[in-house]
Amino acid sequence: MIQNLAKIKHKDSPNFFLIAGPCAIENEDTPRRIAEKVLKLTDELNIPYIFKGSFRKANRSRIDSFSGIGDEKALKIIQQIGEEFDLPTTTDIHEPFHAEMAAAYVDVLQIPAFLVRQTDLVVAAAKTGKHVTLKKGQFLSPESMKFPVEKVTDSGNPNVAIIERGTMLGYGDLVVDYRGIPVMQKYAPVILDITHSLQQPNQASGVTGGKPELIETIAKAGIAVGADGIFIETHPDPAHAKSDGANMLQLDLLEDLLKKLVRVREAIL
Amino acid sequence: MIQNLAKIKHKDSPNFFLIAGPCAIENEDTPRRIAEKVLKLTDELNIPYIFKGSFRKANRSRIDSFSGIGDEKALKIIQQIGEEFDLPTTTDIHEPFHAEMAAAYVDVLQIPAFLVRQTDLVVAAAKTGKHVTLKKGQFLSPESMKFPVEKVTDSGNPNVAIIERGTMLGYGDLVVDYRGIPVMQKYAPVILDITHSLQQPNQASGVTGGKPELIETIAKAGIAVGADGIFIETHPDPAHAKSDGANMLQLDLLEDLLKKLVRVREAIL
Amino acid sequence: MIQNLAKIKHKDSPNFFLIAGPCAIENEDTPRRIAEKVLKLTDELNIPYIFKGSFRKANRSRIDSFSGIGDEKALKIIQQIGEEFDLPTTTDIHEPFHAEMAAAYVDVLQIPAFLVRQTDLVVAAAKTGKHVTLKKGQFLSPESMKFPVEKVTDSGNPNVAIIERGTMLGYGDLVVDYRGIPVMQKYAPVILDITHSLQQPNQASGVTGGKPELIETIAKAGIAVGADGIFIETHPDPAHAKSDGANMLQLDLLEDLLKKLVRVREAIL
Amino acid sequence: MIQNLAKIKHKDSPNFFLIAGPCAIENEDTPRRIAEKVLKLTDELNIPYIFKGSFRKANRSRIDSFSGIGDEKALKIIQQIGEEFDLPTTTDIHEPFHAEMAAAYVDVLQIPAFLVRQTDLVVAAAKTGKHVTLKKGQFLSPESMKFPVEKVTDSGNPNVAIIERGTMLGYGDLVVDYRGIPVMQKYAPVILDITHSLQQPNQASGVTGGKPELIETIAKAGIAVGADGIFIETHPDPAHAKSDGANMLQLDLLEDLLKKLVRVREAIL
């Protein structure tokens, strides 16, 4: 995927690439600090990097969950980060009209897992000409991701990747089916989302839980089986983040994680 | 739910109510014939009836699946059926702006299962003042349906119901967890969708399969446990329908099914 | 199944048959009182009845769980109950040598769900000539129960039935897949175990949990879809029973349950 | 686990250890050739090695599946291989009386996944004083493996390990939940069974299927997350093996696999 992505650095690195940033854009300063820190790390480690931030959280369990600071405001912050650090950027969209709106600010449009079967949304993203990442639905088999990929390519856009984020295992768990990574790589590059794959859905509180202590475990397995990229949400202070605090990696821990993953990557080349 | 629904007949019947019609509105004649036939049956059996038709199929697996005859055209057909037969009607919506559009034509707005976590969509439907039915996500526990219901009621709309349509059991099966029906009835009336609960998702062909020979089985179980309503897609010639042919009940078989369900209903009163 | 079972009463009743008794045989008195009470109820309701008790609990999660009062002692209590009340009886066996041992005391041998793939055990049970009930493994599809049934019939024993007791839904839930009941009835009569189908496995305490308030729900669904029999564990004081207290029905509540199920049964004939 | 295992070589190697051999002992020659070849490879790669062979297949789906050449005969072949090559050996047992019988021939007793909740069997194995490996039930959570481990240690035997072999994902798939490996390592060393984790259960034929092309994928993930050992069934000609042909690795491919796994192992130390 990254070969056609302008602005991305370390394109010829044998490493996996990285999509990282906060869950939601909560303010101007935090995402900027995250981007700066991740960029420094990925430059040192020779890892191609795409900055990620959500301009709007549209699918919270509860109506009183934080949903954003305003679409345009958040998108502009993402755009400024891309310009300031000369980085490609990505955000997720939730309705077809978001596609063109967000495409004015970012380089990669992400389709959320619950929405990956919505043809209008996928086609709208594809038609912007931007790169498209498709999160695998928690209810889809790896083989079924062939069809959303084709919705992008049949719309004339060859720049598509799949993000694995776990499969429903009963009501309370998601499990990454690593057998699916080589299967899906027949259709498109595969990125492992090591943040949302650890969610514990359907919690009684209406707030999705998580198991962040297992981030390293599921990330290493993903690199070992040959995932093309890693997606991670990170924050200087996850406990006080306004969304997904349960699973974001503390920013200070990212360096150690990436170094370990680079070593595993080297072992499979 | 039906107590506040204008136009519905047999309101005081001890029977379950029925939401029935074709999957998609493919033309003018077929849905009209279906409505006429179902109305006659439900009048004989004293069953409150809501006509159902989709104006647009937005979440097909494949890009080349049939998606509709035009939104406005299809909505007008549904409206005419409602007027001609003096029936309440319902359709499913896929984007927030659909809510107001569809509310001009129908009495009940249905939120699809994949989209039931999209706050903007649920709130937009609630704010039209129309009745709202929420399909339980295949990835949600019964307990988790409390939160989408609250998104409707917190928007000032008390007229909400839940439609059960099965839970993912691995990649290839949906299973109805009947334990969930009394659980969800604490939040809202529960309707059992006996068409989509029998889907076999993630088929290699990219076309969802089904087991229509089991319609009677899962419907009887639903009535026996006290479901408030039944949702069924029916068609005079399912094999030639443009969508969901794999699971629609042949219209000729509906009378026998309803009579059997009425008997089970009587046994639990 | 019951047509060839000596001693069973109400053979020509259109009702479902009943397998009921305590989980484990804890002493002499409690099972006797249970049998007496259930027999009285089933005589009034015209329900064929088989008394059930486990002589040994072999598969507890924890080593310190109650496992029994002694095999021979418990089997003799079951036998005496059968003789005193002129009732057919059943117990579950866990090793091939148990088959002949238990066959000296009871009329029906039950193969536990975890063990239904153990050929030696199933064949040993079949060769006693006693009736055999096979619990569907929580890990088996309905279609796969064809093979254990054939292990019985290929051993020359035609008297076999299947007991449905739920399918794993992730780690924490069992779900009854009612679609499987008509599927399995192609191979043998099907009995619904309304006690163990409500288990909540893999609890942190090492003691399996349950949802006994849902007994009526899953039982009604089973009768509505045409199950041939119902299996239930019942106890005068479940909270103080030595095993499976979490799911046994209080004996005082059995009459009401059976009356409701008889009404549902009548509705499907 | 291997620290207390007599005869095992390369005890101080930083590598994972290996349990490998054919599924069933079909004859004298094939297992001998397998042991010889694997021993040579593991000596070169500095991998501690335990020879594995089943003396009896007790849980086949179908009654006409191959079950063995005779218990004693097969156990003697395993013993001879252990003596000739000075190797520790292991086999699986299915009934409590097998424990002492098999303990006379092998060094490690393996409890099958379906049977891991059978207290009598686990305790009988533990009391032989041999090392015990417990396969995680396909229906158990990682946390629940604490209890079978305690059944071994409470019997006075500290030498116990857990073998992960996948969790039911619906009817047709097993999935390895890699999150469970560090969880279970709190209780005992964890070995990943890369043969049976790839099974496709509940096939219409009554013969369990598989996906052997994914062996490398799931093995690399296991080593990356820190599994202590790898369990693999291998055969010179899997297509003609009498059981589990669908998943055994061709013996010729083992060298390449082990070399790749050693590289991943080095990357995580």
DSSP chain C: -GGG-TT-S-TT-SSPEEEEE-SB--SSHHHHHHHHHHHHHHHHHT--EEEE-BS-----SSTTS---S-HHHHHHHHHHHHHHHT--EEEE--SHHHHHHHHTT-SEEEE-GGGTT-HHHHHHHHHT-SEEEEEPPTT--GGGGHHHHHHHHTTT---EEEEE--EEETTTEEE--TTHHHHHHTTS-EEEETTGGGEE-S-TTSS-EE-GGGHHHHHHHHHHTT-SEEEEEEES-GGG-SS-TTTPEEGGGHHHHHHHHHHHHHHH-
Q: Which amino acid is at A74?
A: A
Scanning every residue of chain A, which has its alpha carbon at the shortest distance from the alpha carbon of B116?
Answer: A59
Closest residue on chain B to D169 (Cα): B170
Tokens for B56? 């647009």
Mean of all residue pLDDT scores within chain B: 94
Q: Is A171 in contact with C171 (Cβ distance < 8 A)?
A: no
Share of chain A above pLDDT 70, in %: 100
Distance from CA of C165 to the nearest CA of D (A): 14
Cα distances from A127 to residues A109, A121, A159, B70, in angstroms, run: 11, 10, 11, 21
Chains touching C, CB cut-off 8 Å, 3+ pairs: A, B, D
Cα–Cα dist A202/A94, whole Å: 21
Q: Identify from D139, D167, D171, D203 which residue to disrupt to test chain B contact, counting B C-beta atoms within 10 A and taking the largest count.
A: D171
Q: Choose among C160, C95, C119: nearest CA to D64.
A: C119
Average pLDDT over residues A163-187: 97
DSSP state of D106: -
Q: Is the confidence at residue A158, as pLDDT, over 80?
A: yes
Return the pLDDT at B68.
Answer: 86
List residues bridging with D234 in a β-sheet: D249
Structure tokens at B268: 């639990």
- When mean pLDDT is compared across A220-224, B33-37, B182-186, C238-242, the lowest value belongs to C238-242
Residue C45: predicted pLDDT: 98
pLDDT higher than threshold 90 for residue C240: no
In the predicted structure, residue A75 carries a pLDDT above the cut 90: yes
Token duo for residue C93:
């066996």
Using the Cβ of D172 and the Cβ atoms of chain A, whether some distance falls under 8 Å is answered with: no
Mean pLDDT of the region B155-175? 97
User: Is the pLDDT assigned to residue C66 strictly greater than 80?
Assistant: no
| Average pLDDT of every residue of chain A | 95
In the prediction, which pLDDT does C65 show? 75
D210-233: per-residue pLDDT in tens? 788 899 999 999 999 999 999 999
Given this model, what pLDDT does residue B196 score? Answer: 95
Angle of helix B71-85 versus helix B96-103 axis, rounded to 10: 40
Contacting chains of D (3 CB pairs or more, <8 Å) are A, B, C
3-state secondary structure of A85: helix
**Looking at residue D58, what is its pLDDT?**
79
Cross-strand bridge partners of residue C175:
C167
Nearest-by-Cβ selection for D220 from A176, A225, A263: A225
Q: Which residues contact B39 (CB under 8 A, 6 or more apart)?
A: B49, B85, B87
Q: What are phi and psi of B84, to 5 degrees?
A: -60, -45
- Percent of chain B scoring above 90 in pLDDT: 86
Please report which confidence band the pLDDT of residue A112 belongs to, taking 50, 70 and 90 as the band edges: very high
State the pLDDT at residue A159.
98
With a cut of 90, say whether residue C205 has pLDDT above it: no
- Residue of B135, B104, B99 lying closest to B120 (CA atoms): B99
Rounded to the nearest integer, the mean pLDDT of chain C is: 94
Answer whether D172 sits within 8 Å of B171, measured CB to CB: yes
| Residue-level pLDDT at D62 | 78
CA proximity to B94, closest of A138, A95, A102: A95
Pairing state between β C17-21 and C49-52 = parallel
| Number of helical H runs and strand E runs in chain D | 8, 13
For residue B255, which of B25, B33, B44, B24 has the smallest C-alpha distance? B44
- In tens, the pLDDT along A41-58 reads 999 999 999 999 999 987
For B82-119, b/e burial (b = at least 16 CB within 10 A) is: beebebbbbbbbbbbebbeebbebbbbbbbbbbbbbbb
Does the structure show a pLDDT above 90 at B13? yes
Mind telling me how many Å the CA of C172 is from chain A's nearest CA?
7
Q: What are phi and psi of C94, to 5 degrees?
A: -125, -15
Q: With a cut of 90, say whether residue C87 has pLDDT above it.
A: yes
Smallest Cβ–Cβ distance between C59 and the set D117, D123, D144 belongs to: D117
Contacts of D168 in chain B (CB under 8 A): 170
**Where does the pLDDT of residue B64 fall: very low under 50, low under 70, confident under 90, or very high at 90 and above?**
confident
Confidence check: pLDDT of D204 > 90: no
Any chain C CB within 8 A of the CB of A172?
yes
* 3-class secondary-structure state, position A133: strand
Smallest CA–CA distance, residue D85 to chain B, in Å, is 44
d(CA B30, CA B145): 34
Sign of CA dihedral B101, B103, B106, B109: positive
CB atoms C141 and D117 under 8 Å = no
* Reported confidence tier of residue B250, pLDDT bands at 50, 70, 90: very high
pLDDT band at B53 (very low <50, low <70, confident <90, very high): very high
At D120, which helix (H) or strand (E)? Answer: helix D119-127
Q: Which pLDDT value is given to residue A84?
A: 97
Exposed, middle or buried, C135 (CB in 10 Å: 0-12/13-18/19+)? buried
The structural architecture, per CATH, of the domain C2-268 is Alpha-Beta Barrel (3.20)
**A189-238 pLDDT, tens digit each:** 999 999 999 999 998 887 777 788 899 999 999 999 999 999 999 999 99
We find that the CATH architecture of domain A7-263 is: Alpha-Beta Barrel (3.20)
- Cα–Cα distance measured from residue A211 to residue D176, given in angstroms and rounded to the nearest whole number: 17
Quote the pLDDT of residue C148.
Answer: 97
Q: Which of A109, A96, A9 is nearest to A54 (CA)?
A: A109
* Residue-level pLDDT at C63: 76
For residue B247, pLDDT over 90 is answered with: no
Q: Which residues have a Cβ under 8 Å from the Cβ of A203 and sit 6 or more positions away? A: A172, A209
**For range D187-202, the mean pLDDT:** 96
C-alpha–C-alpha distance, residues D252 and B255, integer Å: 64
Range C255-269 average pLDDT: 98
Average pLDDT over residues D64-88: 93
CB contact, 8 Å: B139 with chain D? no
Is D138's pLDDT higher than 80? yes
Beta pairing class for C199-200 and C209-210: antiparallel
Name the helix (H) or strand (E) containing A99. Answer: helix A96-103
Write the pLDDT tens digit of every residue in C20-60.
999 999 999 999 999 999 999 999 999 999 999 999 987 77
Say what the pLDDT of residue C230 is: 98
pLDDT of residue C18: 98
Section B175-204 average pLDDT: 96
Average pLDDT (D70-75) is 94
Structure tokens that stand for D38 in this block: 């694997």
CA dihedral B176, B179, B181, B185 (to 10 degrees): -160
Please state, as a whole number, how many other Cβ atoms lie within 10 Å of the Cβ of residue D238.
21
Encode pLDDT of C164-186 as tens digits. Answer: 999 999 999 999 999 999 999 99
Q: Would you tell me which residues 79-118 of chain A have a C-beta closer than 8 angstroms to some C-beta of chain B?
A: 94-96, 114-115, 117-118
Whether residue D63 is predicted with pLDDT greater than 80 in this model: the reply is: no
User: Could you tell me how many CB contacts below 8 A there are between chain C and chain D?
Assistant: 107
Spatial distance between the Cα atoms of D161 and D154, rounded to a whole number of angstroms: 14
How many pairs of residues across B and D have Cβ atoms under 8 Å apart? 18
Q: C215-224 and C254-268 helices cross at what angle (nearest 10)? A: 20
Q: Are A24 and A70 in contact (CB under 8 A)?
A: no
Residues of C105-134 as b/e, b for ≥16 C-beta within 10 angstroms?
bbbbbbbbbbbbbbbbbbbbbbbbebbbbb
- pLDDT confidence of residue B206: 79
pLDDT at D184 exceeding the cut of 90: yes
Q: Do D214 and A179 touch (CB under 8 A)?
A: yes
Mean pLDDT for B172-195 is 97
Asked if C202 and D168 come within 8 Å (Cβ–Cβ), the reply is: no
Q: How far apart are CA D187 and CA D154, in angstroms?
A: 13
pLDDT grade, residue A141 (50/70/90)? Answer: very high
B172 touches chain D (CB under 8 A): yes
Give the distance, in angstroms, between the CA of residue C181 and the centroid of all CA atoms in the same chain.
16
Pairing relationship of beta strands D108-111 and D131-135 according to DSSP bridges: parallel
Pair of tokens at residue D159: 């030498």
Mean of the pLDDT values across residues D91-113? 97
Q: Per-residue pLDDT averaged across A108-134, rounded? A: 97
DSSP tag of A134 = E
ipTM above 0.90, yes or no: yes
pLDDT in the model for residue B210: 76
User: CA B110 to CA B23: how far, in whole Å?
Assistant: 13
Mean predicted lDDT score pLDDT of chain D: 94
State the DSSP string of chain B: -GGG-TT-S-TT-SSPEEEEE-SB--SSHHHHHHHHHHHHHHHHHT--EEEE-BS-----SSTTS---S-HHHHHHHHHHHHHHHT--EEEE--SHHHHHHHHTT-SEEEE-GGGTT-HHHHHHHHHT-SEEEEEPPTT--TGGGHHHHHHHHTTT---EEEEE--EEETTTEEE--TTHHHHHHTTS-EEEETTGGGEE-S-TTSS-EE-GGGHHHHHHHHHHTT-SEEEEEEES-GGG-SS-TTTPEEGGGHHHHHHHHHHHHHHH-
Phi, psi of A164 (to 5 degrees): -80, 135
| Amino acid at the residue C71 | D
